[in-house]
C-alpha cells in the first residue's frame, strides 16, 4: 500500500507547459503587461464561449462579485440573498459592494440554495438572489428565474465552480443579470495566478465594470466612480486563452471519472448528492460525498495515499468574521449538517483510470457503524 504513488487532489496542470510558456514569453516580449490585446482577446473568447455579448476580465472571483454588484447598482441598504455553503468570497463580495448578505438554507440532497428558504428571507430591502453553482451544479434555473421575476429581484450567478456547465442550452452566468467567474489556478479553467471575470448581456453594466476595475476611470484622468484596481493582467489573459482550448476535453475527463464514482461507489456509510438531471448541467468541479464518519474516512483514504478535502467545513454564518449575518428565521440547519458530513474526493482531469479505481476501492472498503 505505502509504495503506491499519491493520488493528488489537484495537479495544477491545465495545459501543456509549452503553451503556457509560449503565451507568457509572448506577453513579456511585447512589453505590454496591463489591459492590452491579450485581455481583450480573452474577454472576447470567454464571452463567445459563454454565449453572451460581454466579458470583463478582473483580478479574481471575489472582485468579480463586488464589481458586478456595484456595476448592477447594488450597494448600501440593499439585501442580497445567498448561501452559507460556499467559498467565503461569495459573502465577502456582497459585503465589499456595501450591500447586506442574507443567508438562506440549502437543500440537503444537492447542497444548493433552497427556494423555500430564500422566500422566507425576502424583505422590502431585498434586491437580488446570488445563486452559487456549488461544486459545478446548475439546477432548477427556471425556478430561480421565476422566483426572481415574480418578486422583482435580480438573479446573479456565482459561477466560480461551474465553467462550461449548461442548463437548457444556456451556460452558467447567462441566466442572471451577470455571472461572476474565478480563474484561480485550481478552478476548472485556471490561470497561473489570480484571475476572474464577469459575463453579461447588459452593455451598460459591462462598461461600468470596465471603469470600476480601473480606478473608476471613464476617460484618461477622469474618475466619475470610486473604483478599485482589479485588472486582469495580460499574462494571465494569454495563459487563459491558451488553456481555453483544452477546457472541453478536461471537463469530459472530469465527467468520466464522476460517472464511474456514481456507478461504482457503494458503501452504506457513504451517501452521494443527487445526480444532475442531464450530464451537461454539472461541471464536476468537485465530487462531494457525505459521511457521518468524516475524520475516519479521510484518514482511511490518506493511509492509502489518497488526498481529500472539505468544501466547506464552516458555513459562512459560523465564520468568526461573519457572525450575526441576517439569515432564514427557520435557521440554517441543512447547511450546518452538510458542513459536518461533506468530503470531496479527487476528480480533476489529471486523475488516471487506475487512480479513480483506487479511490473507488478505498471508499468501498471503508467500514463504519454510522450508515445512512
Ligand X SMILES: *Cc1c(COP(=O)(O)O)cnc(C)c1O
User: Can you give the binding site for ligand X, defined by CB under 6 A?
Assistant: 60-62, 86-87, 89-90, 132, 158, 160-161, 182, 184, 194, 196
Residues 178-189 as b/e (b if ≥16 CB within 10 A, e otherwise) read bbbbbbbeebbb
Nearer to ligand X, 255 or 285 (CB): 285
Q: CB of residue 231 vs ligand X: minimum separation in angstroms?
A: 14
Sheet holding 100-103, edge to edge: 54-58, 196-200, 178-182, 154-158, 126-132, 79-82, 100-103, 326-327
Cβ-contact 216, 225 below 8 angstroms:
yes
Q: CB of residue 191 vs ligand X: minimum separation in angstroms?
A: 9
| Cα 290 from chain centre | 20
Nearer to ligand X, 178 or 184 (CB): 184
Q: Where are the beta strands (DSSP E) in the chain?
A: 54-58, 79-82, 100-103, 126-132, 154-158, 166-167, 170-171, 178-182, 196-200, 271-272, 287-290, 326-327, 342-345
Nearer to ligand X, 66 or 355 (CB): 66
Residues found in the chain: 372
Strand partners, 126: 79
264 in helix, strand or coil? helix
For residues 179 and 164, give the distance between their C-alpha atoms in angstroms, rounded to a whole number: 12
Nearer to ligand X, 62 or 301 (CB): 62
Nearer to ligand X, 90 or 267 (CB): 90
Q: CB of residue 334 vs ligand X: minimum separation in angstroms?
A: 18
Determine the residue with CB nearest ligand X: 61
Q: CB of residue 11 vs ligand X: minimum separation in angstroms?
A: 18
Nearer to ligand X, 182 or 267 (CB): 182
**Grid cell for residue 15:** 495545459
Position of cell 447547511?
335
Q: CB of residue 274 vs ligand X: minimum separation in angstroms?
A: 19
Q: CB of residue 34 vs ligand X: minimum separation in angstroms?
A: 18
Q: Are strands 154-158 and 126-132 parallel, antiparallel or unpaired?
A: parallel
Q: CB of residue 305 vs ligand X: minimum separation in angstroms?
A: 26
For 1, half-sphere exposure in the C-beta direction (CA atoms, 13 angstrom radius) is 10
Nearer to ligand X, 131 or 301 (CB): 131
**Grid cell for residue 329:** 428565521
Amino acid at each position: 500500500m505505502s509504495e503506491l504513488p499519491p493520488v493528488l487532489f489537484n495537479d495544477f496542470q491545465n495545459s501543456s507547459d509549452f503553451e503556457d510558456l509560449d503565451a507568457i514569453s509572448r506577453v513579456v516580449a511585447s512589453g505590454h503587461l496591463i489591459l492590452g490585446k491579450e485581455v481583450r482577446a480573452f474577454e472576447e473568447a470567454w464571452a463567445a464561449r459563454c454565449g453572451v455579448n460581454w466579458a470583463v476580465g478582473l483580478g479574481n472571483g471575489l472582485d468579480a462579485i463586488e464589481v458586478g454588484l456595484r456595476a448592477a447598482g447594488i450597494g448600501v441598504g440593499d439585501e442580497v440573498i445567498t448561501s452559507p455553503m460556499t467559498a467565503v468570497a461569495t459573502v465577502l463580495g456582497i459585503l465589499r459592494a456595501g450591500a447586506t448578505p442574507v443567508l438562506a438554507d440549502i437543500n440537503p440532497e444537492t447542497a444548493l440554495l433552497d427556494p423555500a428558504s430564500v422566500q422566507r428571507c425576502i424583505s422590502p430591502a431585498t434586491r437580488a438572489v446570488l445563486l452559487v453553482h456549488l461544486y459545478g451544479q446548475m439546477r432548477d434555473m427556471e425556478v430561480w428565474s421565476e422566483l426572481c421575476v415574480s418578486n422583482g429581484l435580480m438573479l446573479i450567478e456565482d459561477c466560480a465552480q461551474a465553467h462550461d456547465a449548461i442548463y437548457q442550452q444556456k451556460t452558467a452566468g447567462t441566466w442572471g443579470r451577470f455571472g461572476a467567474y474565478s480563474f484561480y489556478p485550481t478552478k476548472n479553467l485556471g490561470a497561473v495566478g489570480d484571475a476572474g471575470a464577469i459575463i453579461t448581456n447588459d452593455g451598460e453594466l459591462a462598461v461600468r465594470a470596465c471603469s470600476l476595475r480601473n480606478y473608476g476611470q471613464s476617460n484618461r484622468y477622469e474618475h466619475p466612480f470610486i473604483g478599485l484596481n482589479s485588472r486582469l493582467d495580460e499574462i494571465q489573459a494569454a495563459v487563459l486563452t491558451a488553456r481555453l482550448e483544452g477546457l472541453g476535453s478536461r471537463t469530459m475527463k472530469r465527467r468520466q471519472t464522476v460517472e464511474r464514482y456514481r456507478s461504482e461507489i457503494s458503501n452504506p456509510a457513504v451517501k452521494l448528492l443527487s445526480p444532475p438531471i442531464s450530464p451537461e448541467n454539472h461541471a464536476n468541479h468537485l465530487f462531494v460525498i457525505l459521511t457521518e464518519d468524516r475524520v475516519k474516512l479521510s484518514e482511511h483514504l490518506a493511509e492509502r495515499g489518497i488526498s481529500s478535502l472539505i468544501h466547506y467545513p464552516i458555513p459562512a454564518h459560523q465564520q468568526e468574521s461573519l457572525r450575526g449575518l441576517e439569515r432564514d428565521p427557520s435557521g440554517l440547519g441543512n447547511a450546518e449538517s452538510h458542513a459536518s458530513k461533506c468530503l470531496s474526493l479527487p476528480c480533476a482531469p489529471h486523475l488516471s483510470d487506475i487512480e479513480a479505481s483506487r479511490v473507488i476501492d478505498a471508499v468501498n472498503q471503508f467500514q463504519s457503524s454510522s450508515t445512512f
